[in-house]
Amino acid sequence: MYFNKSIFQTKLIIIFFSLLYASVSFAKDSEKFINGLIQKMTLEEKVGQMNQYSSFFDVTGPPPNDDNAKHKYDQIRSGLVGSVLNVKGVKEVRAMQELAVNNSRLGIPLIFGFDVIHGYKTITPIPLAESASWDLKAIELSARFAATEASAAGLNWTFAPMVDISRDARWGRVMEGAGEDPYLGSQVAIARVKGFQGTDLSATNTIAACAKHFAAYGFAEAGRDYNTADIGTSTLHNIILPPFKAAAKAGVKTFMNSFNELNGIPATGDPYLQRELLKGAWGFSGFVVSDWGSIDQMIPHGFAEDGVHAAKIAVHSGSDMDMESYHYVKHLANLVNDGKVDIQLIDDAVKRILTVKYELGLFDDPYHYCNEKREKELTFQEDCTAAALDLAKKSIVLLKNDNNILPLAKKNLHIALIGPLANEKNSPLGSWRGAVDANTAISVLEGMEEYKGNKVNYSKGVDLTVGETSFIREININETVRTGMDGAIEIAKKCGVVVLVLGEHGFQTAEGRSRTVLDLPGLQQELMEKIYAVNKNIVLVLMNGRPLVIPWADEHIPAIVEAWHLGSQSGNAIASVLYGDYNPSGKLTMSFPRNEGQIPIYYNHKNTGRPDPSDMVFWSHYSDESNDPLYPFGYGLSYTSFTYSDLDVQSSNETNQVTVRVTVTNSGDKFGEEVVQLYIRDLFASITRPVKELKGFEKVGLEPGQQKDITFVLREADFSFYDNRGRFVFEPGEFDVMVGGSSKEWLKYSFEF
Ligand code: GLC
């Protein structure tokens, strides 16, 4: 068939300009509509758009009778509320939307937000787990399905992705992020924003995303939640900000600021972060929502005198919407009328908020997310469940497998399945569990019972005491109930292999869940040692929301599988890996410390002036522990093995690019996937650079004996960094390139660029 290139090119140009025209005309229409609406609004109605409440009554029931809730109810009816969070389900959302649209003077629709952190009804692996898959397509798909289920339930906004980098496993919220590396964190942020927002925000299966918590929340001192973050410019610009900047560049529609102070200024009241950087240098056109009550918390921070002062600081600093501190709705109008806040600031915030509502299609039809038929059809779809299972398998990290005890034989085995998490259907759902019904995860026991060829004997062994929800503080019970231990030990004695499922309950991680000791909570360590005493053929399955300190297990237990909190399909994914139907391919995205004294511990550390071991004490080390983590960033084993060869690096000053090639071979006897990781090192610069920095990765599947050449192209920006004035600079010089299967094993090539 004759191909006419010029006709094809002409068609491309027509398509390009028609899309450009469409987007420009959409922007013009939106601008015209919103400016027209703002002109009609009273000052109180404008401030109302900046006010967000959490759902406080059964919207489908009678009006609330307690004063606070009744006051909020009345404010919604009078157009003094712009958004509500924690309303879920089409019926409730529709009822709440009708309250606003049918009663307020201008009928401006509410925007409904919710923490869709790792799934809505179908729960996927916690973000720290899914980041260990290093599979950006699977991560984007996970967000896509989460948006599909959440939007089908009437929601239009999720408070995700959480993109806080952290190097401190004591902080319970590491479960919500993508680990310790800014490059991987940025790629995951982009994938999640794309998954949530899709290509058309007005579509009924997409929702606005929210990059949070801006900024440095993950650097809370001592890993204690909400604690002070005091860091240098280089760490701020080179480690903390990149994932936020990547999310902004990916078009995220909202940001959420953070509870912590950063270098003496609470993020909520920091104009450098929210105005100069985010809305200024980065050109962010969406809106910033405060975190829950963070405007009010500037008072205990010692940064605001009272609520009036807090409202003034926050609006000057670029916080557009006030989540649950009530100070905007109480004080902003008076501050404007008293000449203390310029109406321009109010109009800018309101314009940002109304633009997102417009883009969501809420002005065309405030109820277009509210379709009960669609809610039924799009919840628990088969392909959503399949995607959740796929991602759960890919998130599992094989930490140890001495004598190839794994995978287990599928028949004629007598297995002792022991541990407080072995038959758990609630814990695997993790914290920040969306709108899932409790106790609906597939347990390890259920997953293993699908394999009929073996006999599985289950025993809980010990209890794991937690609060009823992830927000209720468990009472500090010193576990004393040992009665189950004897039964577990008896079973272990009689079986050929023990599968021991231990770790943290899902409710022992996330917000407000900082720990100083990162051991196996309760009596689990004692149970493990007693089981080991009667049967050393143990596979330890860890279920946890953060790196744990498990040196005894690493020394004694022959096989260790990191299985996080994997969500609804947890037990099926774990069984599939234990029996070898899925060859584990996950790689850690956060270092596991040998003990808490090493924290903060991370792979992209600086070299210091005394890095080299010596017989004397005058070098950077501990007298009682190694400097190295127990398991490093990027680490994960497979049931097969991979070898790296023929590393070739070509740098070109003409193209200003460096091309890196390496050959990866599956040198084992099973199909497996390998995450090929590319690191660089800048050997000397005007500010010290890390001993290595991740700058690329590719996950490849290889059959036994199969080889593949992997190519990375690095550009000047990949070798650049932010100096202590926040300037992005490139300094020519000597560099190392390292390529391998973890941050600890690689081939290295040195060159000038
Ligand atoms: C919380 C969290 C934030 C969440 C918000 C709404 O306190 O810090 O991540 O999105 O409140 O639930």
Residue-wise pLDDT for 533-565, tens only, equals 999 999 999 999 999 999 999 999 999 999 999
Is the CB of residue 291 below 6 angstroms from any atom belonging to ligand 1? yes
What the block records as the tokens of 739 is: 């390529």
* Residue 259 CA to ligand 1 centre (angstroms): 10
- The pLDDT tens digits for 572-623 are 999 999 999 999 999 999 999 999 999 999 999 999 999 999 999 999 999 9
Question: 426 is written with which tokens?
Answer: 């609630």
How far apart are the CA of 209 and the centre of ligand 1, in A?
14
Cβ of 176 below 6 Å from ligand 1: no
- Tell me which long-range contacts 239-242 makes (C-beta under 8 A, separation of at least 24): 239/165, 239/182, 239/604, 240/164, 240/165, 240/182, 240/215, 240/216, 241/215, 241/277, 242/182, 242/183, 242/185, 242/186
Higher pLDDT among residues 259 and 71, named by residue: 259
CATH number for the domain that contains residue 436: 3.40.50.1700
Together in a domain, 552 and 687: no
Q: Based on the domain organization, do 363 and 489 belong to the same domain?
A: no
Asked if residue 214 has its Cβ within 6 Å of ligand 1, the reply is no
Please determine, for residue 476, whether its predicted confidence score (pLDDT) is greater than 60.
no
Asked if residue 208 has pLDDT above 70, the reply is yes
Q: How far is the CA of 53 from the centre of ligand 1 (A)?
A: 12
Among 84, 292, 514, which residue has the most ligand 1 atoms within 8 Å of its CB, making it the best to mutate? 292
Residues 571, 428 share a domain: yes
Mean pLDDT of the 476-489 span: 79
Residue 315 per-residue DSSP state: H
Q: Residue 372, SS3?
A: helix
pLDDT in tens, 298-317: 999 999 999 999 999 999 99
**Contacts of 489 by beta carbon, 8 Å cutoff, 6+ apart:** 530, 531, 534
pLDDT band at 20 (very low <50, low <70, confident <90, very high): low
Residues 6+ apart with CB under 8 A from 93: 87, 112, 153, 154, 155, 369, 370
212 CB within 6 A, ligand 1: yes
Nearest residue (CA) to ligand 1, atom 8: 291
Say if residues 597 and 472 touch (Cβ distance below 8 Å).
Answer: no
pTM for the full model?
0.96
Q: Where do runs of H (alpha helix) occur along 360-469? A: 372-378, 382-395, 444-449
Query: How many domains does the chain divide into?
Result: 3
Least confident range from 63-67, 157-161, 277-281, 720-724: namely: 63-67
| β-sheet with 693-702: strand ranges across | 693-702, 672-682, 734-740, 746-752
* pLDDT in the model for residue 501: 98
Same structural domain, 364 and 400: no
* CA–CA separation, 618 and 730 (whole Å): 33
* Highest mean pLDDT out of 48-57, 159-168, 470-479: 159-168
377, part of any domain: no
Which atom belonging to ligand 1 lies closest to the Cα atom of 86? 12
Q: Is the CB of 292 under 6 A from ligand 1?
A: yes
150 located within any domain = no
Atom number in ligand 1 closest to CA 213: 9
Please check whether residues 674 and 587 belong to one and the same domain: no
Instruction: Say how many Å lie between the CA of residue 361 and the centre of ligand 1.
Output: 25
Residue entry with tokens 């270098």: 263
> What whole-number distance in Å separates Cα of residue 680 and Cα of residue 364?
50
Q: Which residues fall within 8 angstroms of residue 649, CB to CB, at 6 or more apart?
A: 658, 659, 660, 661, 737, 749, 751
Q: Does residue 328 lie within any of the structural domains?
A: no
Looking at residue 474, its pLDDT comes to: 64
Confidence band of 479 (pLDDT split at 50, 70, 90): low
Write down the pLDDT at residue 1: 46
Tell whether 359 and 399 lie within a shared domain.
no
Compute φ and ψ for 647, nearest 5 degrees: -70, 125
Q: Which of 85, 115, 174, 227 to mutate to test the pocket of ligand 1 (most atoms within 8 A of CB)?
A: 115
- Point out the least confidently predicted range of 138-142, 208-212, 222-226, 723-727: 723-727
Per-residue model confidence (pLDDT) at position 11: 77
CB of residue 115 inside a 6 A radius of ligand 1: yes
Q: Is the pLDDT of residue 475 over 60?
A: no
Look up residue 229 and give its DSSP letter: B
If you measure from the C-alpha of residue 624 to the centroid of ligand 1, how many angstroms do you get, rounded to a whole number? 39
The size of the chain, in residues, is 753
For residue range 166-196, list pLDDT tens digits in order: 999 999 999 999 999 999 999 999 999 999 9
Is the CB of residue 154 less than 8 Å from the CB of residue 106? Answer: no
Ligand 1 touching residue 673 (CB < 6 A)? no
- Let me know whether 418 and 530 are in one domain: yes
Residue 246 lies in a domain: no
99 found inside a domain: yes
Residue whose CA is closest, atom 12 of ligand 1? 115
Residue 19 pLDDT > 90: no
CATH of the domain at 723: 2.60.40.10
Across the chain, what does the average pLDDT equal?
A: 95
Residue 273 structure tokens:
């972060």
Same domain for 685 and 560, yes or no, is no
Would the CA dihedral through 407, 643, 634, 136 be positive or negative?
Answer: negative
Assess whether 715 and 585 both reside in one domain. Answer: no
Closest-CA residue, ligand 1 atom 10, reads 159
- pLDDT tens digits along 121-133: 999 999 999 999 9
Whether residue 741 is contained in a domain is answered as: yes
Res 21 pLDDT > 80: no
Confidence check: pLDDT of 417 > 90: yes
**Percent of the chain scored above 90 by pLDDT?**
89
Ligand 1 mean position, distance from CA 432 (Å): 9
Confidence tier at 429 by pLDDT (50, 70, 90): very high
Residues spanned by the domain of 538:
394-598
Q: Which atom of ligand 1 is nearest to the CA of 115?
A: 10
Catalogue the active-site residues.
Answer: 291
Per-residue pLDDT, averaged over 352-367, amounts to: 98
Between 437 and 469, name the one with better pLDDT: 437
Rounded CA separation 351/41 (Å): 12
User: Worst-scoring range by mean pLDDT, 22-36, 78-92, 321-335, 547-561?
Assistant: 22-36
Which residues have C-beta within 8 Å of that of residue 194, sequence separation ≥ 6? 140, 143, 250
Amino acid letter, 749: Y
Average pLDDT over residues 512-524: 95
354 and 414 in a single domain? The answer is no
Q: Are residues 29 and 90 in the same domain?
A: yes
- What stretch of H or E contains 265? strand 265-266
Instruction: Confirm or reject: Cβ of 633 under 6 Å from ligand 1.
Output: no
Domain assignment of residue 207, yes or no? no
Alpha carbon nearest to ligand 1 atom 7, residue: 292
Q: Which pLDDT tens digit goes with each residue over 53-95? A: 998 777 667 777 777 788 899 999 999 999 999 999 999 999 9
Q: 226 alpha carbon to ligand 1 midpoint, in Å?
A: 12
pLDDT value of position 455: 97
Task: Write the residue with the smallest CA distance to atom 3 of ligand 1.
Answer: 291
Residue 159 Cα, ligand 1 centroid: separation in angstroms? Answer: 7
Q: Give the pLDDT mean for 566-571.
A: 98
C-beta of 511 in contact with ligand 1 (< 6 A)? yes
Domain membership of residue 350 (yes or no) is yes
C-alpha to C-alpha distance for 492 and 129, rounded to whole angstroms: 30
Are 514 and 221 in contact by the 8 Å Cβ rule? The answer is no
Q: Percent of the chain at pLDDT above 70?
A: 97
Do 532 and 676 sit in the same domain of this protein? Answer: no
Among candidate residues 541, 571, 598, the one where a domain is terminated = 598
pLDDT given for residue 23 in this prediction: 65
DSSP string, 167-204: --TTSGGGGGS--S-HHHHHHHHHHHHHHHH-S-TTST
